[in-house]
Amino acid sequence: MRIALHTGKGGVGKTTLSVATAVAAAREGHRTLILSTDPAHSVADVLGAPVAADPTPVADVPGLWAAQVDTRRRVEESWAGIRQYLVGMLAAGGMAEVQAEELTVLPGAEEMVALLELRRHAESAEFDVIVVDCAPSGETLRLLALPETVQFYASRLLRGPNRLLRGLAAGLAGLSGGPTPPTQVRDAVADLLADLGRARDLLADPTVTGIRIVLTPERVVVAEGRRLLTALALHGFPVESVLVNRVLPDAADGAFVARQRAGQQTVLAGIAESFPGIPVTAVPTQAGEPVGADALGELAVAAFAGASVLPPLTATPVLQVSGSGGEYRLEIALPHVDRAEVGLSRVQDDLIVTVGDHRRRIALPSLLQRCLTRGARLADGRLTVEFVADPQAWPTDLLAGATGERRAAAETLAGAS
C-alpha cells in the first residue's frame, strides 16, 4: 500500500497535480484511488467527469477510481447513536430538541470523517495506491493533528469514552451527573478513538505515506510552504517531496514572459535551500488547461520526465530516541525555526513543544517517562531534548548498571586525553 498526500496553499494547482499523479500511477499498472478531502470538490472538474462518495471507475483510465469524501452523510451514518444520546441528555436538562441537535454537531467532524475514510480505503486491499487531494494547508494540519488531540483529551483528561460522554452531556445540560451511556454508545466512542489512532499511525508511517507539498514559484507561496514544512515536522509527518507547479519553460518568449521567468528562476534557486534534503520537482506550465485524463497524463509525463510518479519512499522518522547508560536524547526535526520561537515544557509523561501558533503534546516513550529532563538545544534544524535516568523511577540494579556505563565511558575518555 502506498499513500501520496498532496497539500499546499490554496490555488497552487494541488488538485490538478493530485489527479495527474493518480492517472499516471494507474497507467503504471497500480490499482489507484484518487480521494478528495477538499470541500471544494474540484476533482470532478479536473477529471471532467462526475465523482461520487464511493469509489467509481474513471472512464478511459483502466485501474483508476475516484471518490469525494461526503462528510455529512458519513457523520449521519457513523455517529447517529452518539448524537441521539447527547440530544436526549440535553433535552432532559430542559433544552429544546432542535437546539440540542444544533449543539451536538461534533467538532472536527469533517476532519474525522476524512481520516476514517482514508483508513477504510487503505485497509480494504482494493487499491495499491491512494492519492489524496487535501484541503489547503491550514485544514490539512488540523486533519493530521486531530487524532493526537482527540485521544489526549479523551484518555488523559476525561479517563475514557464513558466519562467523556457523561462529562460532555452533563456539562452542556448543566447537570452534576448523568446516566451511564448505553453500551453501544460507549463502544462507538471507543471504536472512534481507536480508528483515529490507526489512521494517524498510517499517515505517520514513512514507509507507507509520502506527503507532497505543492508550490508555485512565488515568494509568498514558498514562505507558506516553509511554515507548512515546520508544522508537519512538529506533528511527526515527514515530507516526501516538493512539487513546484507552473514553471515557465525556456521556450516561452516575449519580454513580459521573460521577466516572469527571470523572477521564477530567482525563487526556484532558493527553494532547494528552503527544503534541504527533500527532492524538488519542477512542473512546467502547460499551453492549455490540463482537464481530462489525456491532458493530465501528458502533464505527469512532463513533470516526472518519464520516471515513476511513485519513487521509493526514503523519508526517515522526524522523531528519534537514542542513547544508553541512563542518558538519552529525543530528537525532533524542526526546520526553519529560531530558538526564540520554541516553547518547551514537560507535564508528567508528556513533552509539550510549541512553535509559533502550533503546539504538539508528545507522549514520551516508557523509557523516557522514567527519566528527568536535563536540558534542550536547537541546532541544524533539529531540537534535541536530553534526559537522564530518574533514581526514584529506576530499579536499583538497572540504575547501578547505567551509572557504571557512564563512569567507564568517562574513564576511557580521560585515559585517551
Q: Average pLDDT in the 245-268 region?
A: 85
Q: What is the per-residue pLDDT for 311? A: 87
Q: Which residue has the cell 489527479?
A: 19
pLDDT band of residue 244 (cuts 50, 70, 90) is very high
Of the CA atoms within 13 Å of residue 92, those in its CB half-sphere come to 16
CA nearest 71: which of 46, 45, 40?
Answer: 40
Residue 225 has pLDDT above 50, yes or no: yes
Cα gap 244→14, rounded to integer Å: 10
Query: Which of 86-90, 115-119, 350-354, 365-369 is predicted with the least confidence, judged by mean pLDDT?
Result: 86-90
**Domains along the sequence of the chain with CATH:** 2-304 (3.40.50.300), 319-416 (2.60.40.790)
Tell me: the pLDDT tens digits for 92-110? 555 554 444 544 455 556 6
Question: Among residues of the chain, what percentage have pLDDT more than 90?
Answer: 35
Question: Among residues of the chain, what percentage have pLDDT more than 70?
Answer: 74
Q: What is the per-residue pLDDT for 415? A: 45
Give buried/exposed letters for 162-189 (b at 16+ CB in 10 A, else e): bebbbebbbebbeeeebeebeeebbebb
Q: Average pLDDT in the 237-250 region?
A: 90
Q: What is the per-residue pLDDT for 106? A: 54
pLDDT band of residue 70 (cuts 50, 70, 90) is confident
Query: Virtual CA dihedral for 220, 225, 227, 230, nearest 10 degrees?
Result: -160
Q: What is the per-residue pLDDT for 85? A: 56
217: number of Cβ within 10 Å: 23
CA nearest 157: which of 136, 143, 171?
Answer: 171
pTM, to two decimals: 0.80
CA nearest 325: which of 203, 237, 410?
Answer: 410
Please tell me what DSSP assigns to residue 252. Answer: -
CA nearest 247: which of 269, 230, 226, 277?
Answer: 269
Q: Average pLDDT in the 376-401 region?
A: 83
Tell me: the pLDDT tens digits for 164-199? 444 444 443 344 444 445 555 556 666 767 777 888
Q: Which parts of 153-182 fold into alpha helices (H)? A: 161-173
Q: Which parts of 93-160 fold into alpha helices (H)? A: 97-103, 109-122, 137-152
Tell me: the pLDDT tens digits for 277-300? 899 999 999 888 888 888 999 999
Contact 341, 353 (CB under 8 A): no
The distance from CA 286 to its chain's CA centroid, rounded to whole angstroms, is: 30
Q: What is the per-residue pLDDT for 356? A: 87
Q: What is the per-residue pLDDT for 143? A: 72
| Mean per-residue pLDDT over the chain, rounded | 79
Residue 58 has pLDDT above 90, yes or no: yes
- Which residue has better confidence, 228 or 70? 228
Q: What is the per-residue pLDDT for 227? A: 92
Contact 247, 260 (CB under 8 A): no
